[in-house]
Amino acid sequence: MKWPSSTDQSEQHPDGIVTSSFSRDVESVAFAVLLFLTAGIVLFISCFFVTKCLQCYKARQRRLRRKALGEDDDDDDDDDVDNDDMDEDEPNTGITTSNPDLVKV
């Protein structure tokens, strides 16, 4: 009995269609490549989803810990009002937007 190999040129299909083992090899390689890429995409998406869930969980834990310790939360709108009042009391030491006078030589 002879084992089929990729060196066989052609076989006769019962319907009279000539098929080569080379086309079957290409088909199996293409299927393996597509399956590998699909598995990689699925793993990437699942890792991305798990990472995002972990980030949300950690942010929630930090927010609850800050609230339990009595620290101010960055998301509160009341802090914005307090910061506006403090900015008005400080002198304006920033860079001015007016152009200096030109000096003629």
The pLDDT of residue 3 is above 90:
no
Asked if 20 and 11 touch (Cβ cutoff 8 Å), the reply is yes
Per-residue pLDDT tens over the stretch 88-99: 555 555 566 677
Per-residue pLDDT tens over the stretch 31-65: 999 999 999 999 999 999 999 999 999 999 999 99
Q: What does the alpha-carbon distance between residue 75 and residue 55 come to, in Å, rounded to a whole number?
A: 17
Beta strands in the chain (DSSP E): 11-12, 18-19
pLDDT of residue 24: 84
Domain boundaries of the chain, sorted by first residue: 16-68
